[in-house]
Structure formats: C-alpha cells, structure tokens
Amino acid sequence: MRKLNVLIAGSTGYIGVQLVKLLVKHKYVNIKYLCGNSSVGRNISYFDKDLKKNKLPKITKFNLKFLQNVEVIFTALPNGEAQIISNGLLDKNILIDLAADFRLNKISEYLKWYKQKHNSPKNINKSIYALPEISENKVKNFKIISCPGCYPTSILLPLTPLIKKDLIKTNNLVIDSKSGYSGAGRGVHQKFRNKNLYESLSAYGVGFHRHVSEIDQELKNITKKKINFIFTPHLTPMFRGILSTIYVELKNRKSIYDVYRELINFYKGKKFIIIKKIDSMLSTNNVINTNNIQISVCKTKFKNKFIILSAIDNLIKGGAGQAVQNMNIKFDFKINEGLK
C-alpha cells in the first residue's frame, strides 16, 4: 500500500510532538512537512530527543501550496487557524483538527465560548465530531475530522452508553476532572505564572470551561433532552494524564451491575477501552503513553448512587492518539496501526 503524505501544522506543541512520535511508527505514513512559526529551521528533535534517530523534514512555515503534495493535514494550532486552512483544502485533502475549530455545530455557540468569529462556517457541515468508538465508520463520509477535547473524551466515553440505555438520571451529573499541566500547552508556565505548577493543585474555568459546550452538545445529541451537569477541571502537579470522577444517580430499579454490563457490552471488541472490575481504583499511571481509556464503576453507601472513574493520557487518547485512530478509520488501516 502506498504511504500517505502528511503535513503537521503546529508540530512543536506538546500534542504536535506527540503526534510526530506516533506517526513515525505508522507504516502507511510519510511525514512530508512539519510546520511551525517561531521554530522555523529547527529539527523536531530539538523538542524531543527521542526523535533524533528519525529522518524528518526541518520545521518550516506553513504554505497553502503544501496542500498539493499531501493527503492528510493534521492541525494542532491555536483555535481559529484550522478554519483558515480548511478554506484552502483541495479535493484530495483530509483535515484532522486537534483544536476546537469544528467541535461545535453552531457558529453562535463557537462565538459564545471561544469569543471569536468562525472563519469557515461553510465547512462545519463537512466536518464530524469524531470520538472514534462512538462515531466509528461515519468519519469516512467527511473531509474534516474534528477530534474531541481531552476532558470530553474522558467524560463522554463512560457516559454515552449509560445515557443511550437510559440507565442513569441526567438532571444532576457532577463531573470532577484532574489533568496534567501539559493540557494547557507550552504556554502553561506563562499562563499560570503565579502558581507553583509542580507543587500545587488548582481549580480553573469553574462552571464555564470551554469544554462545557462540547460535553453539553454531545450529551444532548444522545437524548435530545436537556442534560444538567456541573463540570470542574483542575490542574495537577504532573505533566500528563487525566483522571475524571463522575457522580451519578441510577434510574429506578437499575443497579450498578446493569451499568457495568452495559459498558462491557457496548465496548465489546474496542481495543482501546478497558472496563475494570466494579470498585477498581484507577490511576493515570496505568494509561500513560497509551491510547487506552480505563473505566471503573464504584459503589457508594447509597444504593441508587455510584461513581464512575475514567483515566486517559491527555496527549494520546485525549489528543494525538485519537487523531491517528480517526485517520486509521478513514483510510481503512488497522485501528491500532501506529498505536500499538
């Protein structure tokens, strides 16, 4: 099989570098261009020494002419920039965006949550919100593949089967998520310069984090009803990983065993989803450097209430790995190609 020529825009950020590290192991990918701004002329190994042994192009400034020479464009850029690139896509191009440019279906919602006008409204209908285990082969019908945010990935994967099956109440979900500081990008030290990232735990975006819009949209798509939830993210003194804790109430006559069985059945055969035994305690350490998500359901002293734990690596399952997974689906590669 001929290799796909690939361009990575935003290749020097934490997720961009992680994407390069995955794609160099993908036997059907040729990395044609690595693009950046302040790093033009550098080798990507400057940002990760593990890449020294790979023959990779030097970082260059993005040019629309490059689209003539590639099939796939990955964008790990600040919000708004993938929209501009999407306007120049050729028929042969597939855009896989790791930012938020095509996650929301309404331009009014994008303006509300991201405080900027959408520069490619015509391309929203050509895009899909692609959580691979949920959207599956639907991605084959779209030119623009929008990868979910890291927090929503850790939340939607455990909740989607339970809401679809009507096992839980949706009027008072409480979601508490803790992330490694890499989730805030390379500018994290400047953004949180007044906090000691290495020795403190910080809540932020309380009640109004941008991912609220994404979670709300996708949960409503399941039931067509209003879902009430509270989401609070935290920054932790670790580099990578997310642990989400979701407090849930069962519907009448349902039990935690119904929940456990539904998760097992729904994700049967899904390579990257691991449903742990009831009451298993999870750690981010179990998923670091993998494209896996681990999910556990835990009892409480109340029969009708339980706790969901989910753990992912925010840079892989919550970012670069999910992008590669979507590409594998789009081009009929093995789902774990480049992700073994």
50-68 residue pLDDT tens: 999 899 999 999 999 999 9
Identity of residue 289: N
- Helix ranges (H only) for the chain are 14-23, 81-86, 107-114, 132-135, 150-164, 188-191, 211-223, 256-266, 321-330
Distance CA 226, CA 266 (A): 23
Pair 117, 111: CB distance under 8 Å: yes
The residue range of the domain holding 82 is 4-148+318-330
Residues listed for the chain: 340
Q: Active-site positions?
A: 150
Please name which of 116, 120, 147 lies closest in space to residue 131, comparing C-alpha atoms: 147
Q: Do 156 and 240 share a domain, yes or no? A: yes
Structure tokens at 192: 């949180």
The list of the chain residues with pLDDT below 50 reads none
Is 63 a domain residue?
A: yes
Is 279 a domain residue?
A: yes
Is 337 a domain residue?
A: no
What per-residue confidence (pLDDT) applies to 200?
83
CATH of the domain at 121: 3.40.50.720
What per-residue confidence (pLDDT) applies to 241?
97
Q: What's the number of domains the chain is made of?
A: 2
What per-residue confidence (pLDDT) applies to 182?
87
CATH of the domain at 157: 3.30.360.10
What per-residue confidence (pLDDT) applies to 44?
95
Is 276 a domain residue?
A: yes
Please name which of 101, 90, 100, 29 lies closest in space to residue 65, comparing C-alpha atoms: 90
Rounded to the nearest angstrom, the gap between the alpha carbon of residue 7 and the centroid of all alpha carbons in its chain is: 19
What per-residue confidence (pLDDT) applies to 193?
64
